Chains A and B, each alone.
Chain A
């Protein structure tokens, strides 16, 4: 079951302090990277909620993020909604779509679930790609950033936007953590371990899975809104399965089912991407090798590895005492 261990709380605190401190000293390029990390962190927290804790490995989270981005942009630009109402609409739409996908895919598990979500994701991608309303292959531009000038915050400024994005990561984490500590979250973890038994205990499995998927979809939609606001240009590529695949790589790199690990993974992934791509255009190959090393080490990602080491160190004196007593 999900719990806030001292290591997790410490890591979260360090991440919060480090990112905020960096936001105040970084230049334009650093702030853009920070915003990129924050948006990816929101997406991977959303994915970890269902994949890491519920065992529902999704390849449509890129599409859910893209739906959020497009819904936000269309609602703001075409329907004339303010940025925050447009965000709420986009998040709600992503959640509704995720609920439907979750409800339909709930009966499948493992590779079949992955393939079903992939199919939904690619359907959404194809629809947006073909639709003139969404600009087809050209995408849409001009997604607005929220206007917070009334409280003295100008989100057109990179620094302010990066801090705003960090605040959204915090909000996302709180929603995900609260979900995992709720009845639904407890059931979600139970479903990962033994779906048959939970059904026999009286849980309506499809509804629990669909609801969890909807919450995750809402968070992915939020990531989409921020992605649209960040670049102020969106294209169908945002809905591609490769975005979902990349998010999955980040979750595995950080630590599946830890909620904190994926944030660490997002930091590592984006920093590695920028640092290695400055040296070689084959940065994907290097990141791939790192991922293979992480997977082959049998550690649960970088953060999972640290957690396991800490747990082993903690239990060592207990085992030594038990052996001495014996």
Chain B
């Protein structure tokens, strides 16, 4: 469903992505691990088109999308959530979800109808709000809600586009243990045909949700395999997991 072939990106002398090759099958849940500065978010930025790789190829559903722009990739079913909340702050939660659904449904530039009133958009908003546990907050302004709810909305907006592949950049970043459990349930409940790529530092969540794990270090894939194999890998313990195993 999503594949990269020897993806490489440098900023001057710094190699942030070195020949990264990944292959995600339809419905696969893959967690990307790696220490800070390993190039995880940079990889995401290249996958969605916000950064152009120096070399390499990105395939979505078999089609080469490397040269496509961000919006074109989104229309092909690639959606992402951000590590730092990237919301429509002046709008309500319902409007945030509605706008995302409307744009994804191709109603974002129509001149004759209010897409937020269309049955299709309203249904999507209702379903996604239930998925991310925001049904009770739809009429509230984003400015008025807590950080945790904003994190839920961040993921909700990405889901409202009804993507084929969703990239989530640290969805539990900055939230407390209770809310982290909520995200855990959310991720487990996602439709099985949705391909999910997650950057996550919460190890319990990562190992529980992941079908496969990829570990990046200094922009290179240093591990790509099953969660059990990752747990056993001495190299991973050395570069990343030591603190978690010791805890």
Contacts and interface: CB of A to CB of B under 8 A. Distances in A.
A8 interface: no
A184 B108 CA distance: 6
A187 B103 contact: yes
Nearest to A205: B71
Contacts of B113: 182-183
A288 B89 CA distance: 32
Nearest to B160: A201
A182 B114 contact: yes
Contacts of A1: 91-92, 95, 116
Interface string B102-133: 11100111111111100000000000000000
B75 interface: yes
Contacts, number: 105
B88 A193 contact: yes
Point out which of B50, B71, B95 has the most chain A C-beta atoms below 10 A from its C-beta: B71
Interface residues of B, number: 36
A183 B116 CA distance: 8
A157 B112 CA distance: 36
Nearest to B90: A193
Contacts of A184: 108-111
A198 interface: yes
B233 interface: no
A190 interface: yes
A199 B110 contact: no
A187 B89 contact: no
A201 B104 contact: yes
A194 interface: yes
A123 B5 CA distance: 49
Point out which of A197, A202, A207 has the most chain B C-beta atoms below 10 A from its C-beta: A202
B111 to A, nearest CB: 5
B34 to A, nearest CB: 23
A198 B103 contact: yes
B75 A183 contact: no
A194 B88 contact: yes
B155 to A, nearest CB: 13
Query: Mostly helix, strand, loop or mixed at chain A's interface?
Result: helix
A203 B82 CA distance: 17
A203 B115 CA distance: 14
A198 B91 CA distance: 13
Contact of A193 (B48, B50, B91): B91
Interface residues of A, number: 27
A184 B106 CA distance: 11
A77 interface: no
B228 to A, nearest CB: 34
A182 B109 CA distance: 8
A200 B75 CA distance: 9
Contacts of B115: 182-183, 186
Interface in B52-80: 70-72, 74-75, 79-80
Contacts of B95: 1, 186
Contact of B71 (A178, A194, A202): A202
A182 B74 contact: no
A105 to B, nearest CB: 18
Contacts of B103: 187, 190, 198, 201-203
A182 B103 CA distance: 12
B161 interface: yes
Nearest to A1: B95
Interface string A284-324: 00000000000000000000000000000000000000000
Contacts of A203: 71, 103, 108-109
Contacts of A187: 99, 102-103, 108-109
B186 interface: no
A199 B71 contact: yes
A-B pairs with the 10 shortest C-beta distances?
Answer: A202-B74, A183-B110, A193-B88, A202-B75, A183-B107, A187-B108, A183-B115, A201-B103, A181-B114, A197-B86
Interface of B: 48, 50, 70-72, 74-75, 79-80, 82, 86-92, 95, 98-100, 102-104, 107-116, 157, 161
16 contacts: A183-B109, A183-B111, A183-B113, A186-B95, A186-B99, A186-B114, A186-B115, A187-B109, A189-B88, A193-B88, A194-B87, A194-B88, A197-B87, A200-B50, A203-B109, A207-B109
Given A183-B110, A193-B90, A198-B103, 17 more contacts: A1-B92, A179-B111, A181-B114, A184-B111, A186-B116, A189-B88, A189-B90, A193-B89, A194-B87, A200-B71, A200-B86, A201-B71, A201-B103, A202-B74, A202-B75, A203-B103, A207-B109
